[in-house]
Amino acid sequence: MSSAFAQQQKLLRLLQLNSPSLPIGTYAYSQGLEAAVAQGLVADAQQAQHWLQTLLRHTLVPNDLALLVRAYHAWQTEDFAAITDLIAHSRALRETAELLQEDTHLAQALIRLAAPLEIPLPDNFARKNSLPIVYARFAQHWQISLEDSLTAFAWGWMENQIAALLKLCSLGQTQAQQLMLRMDQPILDAVQRAIDLPDDLVGMSLPNFAILSAQHEQQYSRLFRS
């Protein structure tokens, strides 16, 4: 196998892992965004960009991305004790029932794909798992670089948020594409921050975001499960 083919194959696996057609159900969740739109906090492209950049910097980087970095390295060395600790840590960072349920359901859906896609997992791998930890296993097994794995994870999160915005407010398709372009640098910066983040800064809370997520649990009319 040529090195050029191997690199192209890794790209194909990365695209597969982040494809909207991957049957893990991310489209069903908005991660508090539906509540923010309902309360008038996000109503246009400018507010949407602020929302995305704030969550990217203060929740995705120190939580999901930072844990993905550590899980990727743990899978490389088959440090299953560390992986178990990372699962518990990741689940503990989900501040509401909906956010924990989302993380659990997405992780379980990805685990169900492991056997048919020939991704080896430990025999006693917990059913109560966490998405960034399972995602790291797929990426590491397919030899996708850590940087590319983080970039794709962050981009997939952003794409799902923007897809939710298209359903929830007056943001149009063209505005959505323009917003994606403006998020390039924030995403690349987020990846580097996650790689460099020291252990004592892993885990961060945005109280107002947690409140919005909790309020969504009681929201009268909902399109999304979180």
Mean pLDDT within 210-221: 93
- pLDDT at position 104 is 96
Mean pLDDT within 128-136: 96
Return the percentage of the chain with pLDDT > 70, whole number: 100
Going along the chain from its start, the domains and CATH numbers come out as 42-217 (1.10.4190.10)
Write down the pTM of the prediction: 0.97
Mean pLDDT within 123-138: 91
- pLDDT at position 37 is 96
Taking 90 as the threshold, does the pLDDT of residue 24 lie above it?
A: yes
- pLDDT at position 220 is 87
Distance from C-alpha of 38 to C-alpha of 160, rounded to nearest angstrom: 18
For the stretch 38-60, pLDDT in tens is: 999 999 999 999 999 999 999 99
- pLDDT at position 127 is 77
- pLDDT at position 1 is 60
In this prediction, residue 125 has a pLDDT band, given cuts at 50, 70 and 90, of confident
For the stretch 157-199, pLDDT in tens is: 999 999 999 999 989 999 999 999 999 999 999 999 999 999 9
Taking 90 as the threshold, does the pLDDT of residue 6 lie above it?
A: no
